Amino acid sequence: MKQHRITETEAASRLDKMMKQVEPDYSRQVVQEWIKNHQVKVNQKHVKANYICQTGDEITWTIPEVETVTIEPEAIPLDIQYEDDDILVINKPKGMLIHPTATIKTNTIVNALKNYTAALSTLSGDDRPGIVHRLDQDTSGLILVAKHNAAHQFLKEQFQARTITRVYEAVVYGKVEHRQGIIKAPIGRNPNHRKQMAVTDDGREAETHFQLLTSFEQYSHLECELKTGRTHQIRVHLQYMNHPILGDSLYAKKQTNLINGQALFAKRLTFSHPRTKKQINFEIDAPADFQHVLDVLASAD
């Protein structure tokens, strides 16, 4: 077990930020995982990552042993929208995970990438080679993949600066009354449902912009732009405004026969290329099942 006592100059810092200074070899995200998993104590008590350190606090922690990760390459077709020596832009299908988890080790984008190329960045760890950002398993659409660490770092900085444009389309329950709007509501883990996120007072800042594309009798077709990138952000924010996404098994109480899975896809990515520094844009058409929903709703109106 390791320990550290907070000095006067370290006081008033968030616990996760202070721990990052003490353990510079680990990312803040990793440190936050330690805190969340109760591997960090302050004065022998478990606290949250946003705990404000006080002079004299005794911080104790254990660094968990990291299991060796073996990812098997799999000959899974990739829908590649763009490729050069620095990046890949891939249209991820619905139902596929981005990377292996503790319970699912195969049939992920990473398994397919390992089979496709050996040129993948390592900044996200051995279990997520090339992965700069993620989509939910049940969300299809565009993702960015970095082929080397310099490209990864450049893209990561754009995500942190919020200069990458990420636009989605969704079909939601109910008539959205406003033509456009901004949802600013912090998102954190739902204390009553471990698989869900929720709008919470102590959550992380989250902002989603939306535009109404088409209004149907009992549904609405929206375009949503992420300004932040929280887990399940669009799904949580739309549920928060009482318009959950059609087919969302986690956040919508109603069931539907219109689509298998949720009516949400990542439509457009705009970013600066890591080598040329020029802004480039990629956009895809709606997947067949999403378009089917729109066709059915249009014919019913």
Domain 162-301 is classified in which CATH homologous superfamily? Pseudouridine synthase (3.30.2350.10)
pLDDT at residue 68, as a whole number: 61
- Between CA 237 and CA 242 the distance in angstroms is 9
pLDDT digits (tens, 9 = 90+) for 76-125: 999 999 999 999 999 999 999 999 887 888 999 999 999 999 999 999 98
The residue-averaged pLDDT of 205-218 equals 97
Taking 70 as the threshold, does the pLDDT of residue 20 lie above it? yes
Residues in contact with 138: Cβ distance below 8 Å, sequence separation at least 6, in sequence order = 94, 95, 248, 249, 261, 262, 264
Q: What is the mean pLDDT of residues 196-203?
A: 92
- 136 is a catalytic site residue: yes
Evaluate whether 147 touches 86 at the Cβ level (below 8 Å).
Answer: yes
Share of the chain above pLDDT 90, in %: 85
* pLDDT computed for residue 30 by the predictor: 87
148-191 pLDDT, tens digit each = 999 999 999 999 999 999 999 999 999 999 999 999 999 998 98
Q: What is the CATH number of domain 72-153?
A: 3.30.2350.10
Task: Write out the H or E segment, with its range, that includes residue 188.
Answer: strand 187-189
**Confidence label for 69 from pLDDT (cuts 50, 70 and 90):** low
Among candidate residues 16, 136, 138, 248, the one labeled active-site is 136
Average per-residue pLDDT in the chain?
94
Residue ranges of the chain that CATH labels 3.30.2350.10: 72-153, 162-301
| Strand ranges inside 16-76, DSSP E | 40-42, 58-61
Cα gap 177→168, rounded to integer Å: 19
Q: Count CB-CB contacts under 10 A for residue 135.
A: 21
Yes or no: domain 2-61 corresponds to CATH 3.40.50.720: no
Cα 150 from Cα 87, distance rounded (Å): 11
The CA distance from 130 to 151, in Å, is 10
Domain boundaries for CATH 3.10.290.10 within the chain? 2-61
Tokens of 259: 């689509």
What's the average model confidence in pLDDT over 1-29? 90
